[in-house]
Amino acid sequence: MNLIFLHGFLGRPSDWALVKAYLPFGDVHIYTPDYLKDPQLGPQNSFETWAENFVKWTEKVVGGTKQNILVGYSLGGRLALHALEKKPDLWKKVVLISTNPGIEDAQHEDIGRSEERQKRWLSDAYWAEEFAKSPWETVLRNWNSQPVFKGGAAEPPRVETDFSREVLSLILTQWSLAQQRNMREVIAKYVQKIHWLVGETDEKFMALTEQLKNQIRELQVDVVMGAAHRVPLDNPKGLGERINKLLK
């Protein structure tokens, strides 16, 4: 069995270290690609092109077997949804953690006419400018002060030299939620492959999940106790145990 983990925005492959400690050794092969460092998997690509490239990467590095479990957290979850849509047969299961299914309005061509998309675009454009130009410690402090992150573990130290500010800024515009299609149809189509996880104290995403569950009743939802938005950091043991069940 192969496990492929996709970290979130401002994340690192090492974010999965504590989760991996609760996974079995031996028969399970674990991959943690750093899509911030690989141009083929970076935000230089649209969601669609990224999915094409990621499928090729998986087939080359991991293998074309159907024994692949894809795990994505936050932005990594949104990317994972596009990979599922691109080649569903490549994935045995797709685990989506703290994932936004997209702004619920008409399709991609309506970007620019939706008030919610415009609002999100202005927010992401602001943060893109901040990550490009503001002092590193200042932008980190302000980013981590956002309400969505309250009540959970502090983000691990992020060293500026580990990142490209240009790439971080580009992610916030190229992969903005304002640029992403409403993926609910994809979730409904491949619902049997999806395992949806959300932290119990993540108010925003608990509400999103409840709404999604009402729309797609077959969706398998698992609430991770003792976790807020940053589930892999808040409760790595609980997350590892859930992935173990999928492996079995």
The mean per-residue pLDDT over the stretch 94-112 comes to 79
pLDDT tens-digit map of 178-206: 999 999 999 999 999 999 999 999 999 99
Q: Between 152 and 10, whose confidence is greater?
A: 10
pLDDT band at 49 (very low <50, low <70, confident <90, very high): very high
The class of domain 2-106+180-247 in CATH terms is alpha beta
Q: What is the pLDDT of residue 36?
A: 87
With a cut of 80, say whether residue 231 has pLDDT above it.
yes
- pTM of the predicted model as reported, rounded to 2 decimal places: 0.94
With a cut of 60, say whether residue 74 has pLDDT above it.
yes
Q: What is the pLDDT of residue 112?
A: 55
The total of other beta-carbon atoms located within 10 Å of residue 17's CB is 13
| Short-list 193, 230, 229, 198, CA closest to 213 | 198
Q: What angle do CA 237, 242, 229 make, to 5 degrees?
A: 65
pLDDT band at 109 (very low <50, low <70, confident <90, very high): low
Lowest mean per-residue pLDDT among 14-28, 49-63, 106-120, 186-200: 106-120
CA-to-CA distance for 208 and 100, rounded, in angstroms?
8
Q: Per mean pLDDT, which of 33-42, 63-72, 172-181 is the most reliable?
A: 172-181
Query: What crossing angle do the helices spanning 75-86 and 47-57 adopt, rounded to 10°?
Result: 70
CA-to-CA distance for 211 and 193, rounded, in angstroms?
19
Q: What is the pLDDT of residue 107?
A: 52
Q: What is the pLDDT of residue 204?
A: 95
With a cut of 60, say whether residue 92 has pLDDT above it.
yes
Tell me the pLDDT of the chain averaged across its residues.
Answer: 92
The mean per-residue pLDDT over the stretch 117-142 comes to 96
pLDDT band at 106 (very low <50, low <70, confident <90, very high): low
Q: What is the pLDDT of residue 127?
A: 98
Burial grade of 97 (CB within 10 A; 0-12, 13-18, 19 or more): buried
Q: What is the pLDDT of residue 25?
A: 72
With a cut of 60, say whether residue 142 has pLDDT above it.
yes
Q: What is the pLDDT of residue 113?
A: 67
Percent of the chain at pLDDT exceeding 70: 97
